[in-house]
Each structure stands twice: as structure tokens, then as C-alpha cells.
Amino acid sequence: MASPEQRRVALITGATGGLGPHVVAAFTAAGWEVARERRDDAGSSLRWFDATNAAEVKEAVEQVARSYGRIDALLSLVGTWKPQPPVAEFTDQLWDEIFAINLRSAFLVARAVIPHMLKQRWGRIITVGARGGERGSAKNAAYAASKAALLALTESVADELSGTGITVNAVVPSVIDTPANRRSMPNADYSKWVPPAHIAATMLFLCRDQAASITGERIHISNQS
């Protein structure tokens, strides 16, 4: 007989990014059914969708619910960082783009998933914050503001869902050791960066029954070695 964990379903958005494959691998190895989108549809249980588009998000979440009969965890990994000018030189387009990817996507997918979790009285929602969202810095205004708003959204949803069996938390890593980050910061000390597998393992723990008392928290992850 399969364990409860092996019957659970995780929806992972942003699964093709630098962190996503590690989260997919961790949950798959633990016996979870994993629904994630891929542009090429190879080995995918979910066609690619735009997480900033409300209609596409609703359709995708309903597809997962129909295919698996439930959604137990939402790992909301969609996010971006781009070089940013001083606020006085920001374009509306760049500001809106960063907010859409970092904040609107998490809001839309959570809004669509929560009703399914409420029906089963069990669920886990995890977002990805950033240290930059806890203290702003020059030429980083949109990223910092969008991540700060994401943390506030996470805490608000956790408070709303208190007592329902659904927990909502944010992991807040320092710099993640991804190929994209290495390309953008070629002279950095990579040994001080957080391995994506460590973040994936933390997310997996937060989705287990043993983490039922952890909600509305910012789980900071940094490499102190």
C-alpha cells in the first residue's frame, strides 16, 4: 500500500528555472505525483501556461485537479531578477513586468489552488522570497518591492487559512547557486551560495505532516560553510 505522501500531488510552477528541476527531483524521489509545465510537453503532465495570465492559470489548475483528483501542494517558483535603473529612470513596462512575474503569478496560482485545498482540508503553499525583499537597495527597487509584497502576501494568506489544515510559508534564500546567477556574477564566491537542492529539501519538509505547525513563516536559507 502506498504511503500518504506517495498519494499526494504537487503543482510546481516555474519548474524549468534554475531551482525548479531540483524541486521536481526532490518531490518525485519522495513519491509525490508532480504536475509541472514544460514548453516542449516532453514528459509533462501539464501544458505550459503563463502564470501571470488569470485565465490560463485557472485552466491549468483545473486541468491538474481533473487529472489527479486533488492538489496537495503548490510550489510557487516563478520569479525573475533583471538589471534595474534608479527609480527616476524606471519605465512603466519594466516595473510592471517585474511585479507581474514576482507577485501577480504567485497571487493568481494561489487563488486558483486554495479552493481545492479547502475541500480536502489539507494543503501546503510555498513561495520563494528573497533577502532583497526584506531590505531594499539601490538600483533594485522593483525587485525588492515585489519580493517584499510577496512576503506580505504569503503571510496574509497564511493568516486567512489558519485552522483549515493548509499551511503557507516562504523560503527566503540568499543567492542561489544557479547557472544564470553564475553567468551574471562571474567573479563571485560560489562556495557561499545556496545549493538549489538544499532549498528543495526544505520545501519537501514543509510539505510533510510533521510541518503542520509551521505557517506564516519566513524560512531563511543561507550557506554558512
Please report the pLDDT score of residue 3 as a whole number.
Answer: 55
- Sorted by sequence, the CB contacts under 8 Å of residue 93 that are 6+ apart come out as none
CA distance 104 to 125: 15
pLDDT tens readout for residues 46-75: 778 999 999 999 999 999 999 999 999 999
CATH label of the domain that carries residue 126: 3.40.50.720
pLDDT tens readout for residues 65-101: 999 999 999 999 999 999 999 999 999 999 999 999 9
- 123 vs 45, residue with greater confidence: 123
- pTM attached to this predicted model: 0.94
Specify the amino acid at residue 30: A
In this predicted structure, the answer to whether residue 42 has a pLDDT above a threshold of 60 is no
Q: What is the number of domains present in the chain?
A: 1
Average pLDDT over residues 18-24: 95
In this predicted structure, the answer to whether residue 225 has a pLDDT above a threshold of 60 is no
Kindly report which listed range (27-31, 101-105, 181-185) carries the lowest average pLDDT score: 181-185
| DSSP conformation class of 102 | I
Please report the pLDDT score of residue 146 as a whole number.
Answer: 98
The CA dihedral of 99, 104, 105, 110, to the nearest 10 degrees, is 150
CA distance 64 to 122: 16
Domain range holding 19?
5-221
**Residue 91: exposure state from Cβ atoms within 10 A (0-12, 13-18, ≥19):** exposed
Grid cell of 140 as nine digits: 533594485
β-sheet bridge partners, residue 218: 170
pLDDT tens readout for residues 121-169: 999 999 999 999 999 999 999 999 999 999 999 999 999 999 999 999 9
How big, in percent rounded to 5, are the helix, strand and coil portions of the chain?
Answer: 45, 15, 35
Specify the amino acid at residue 171: V
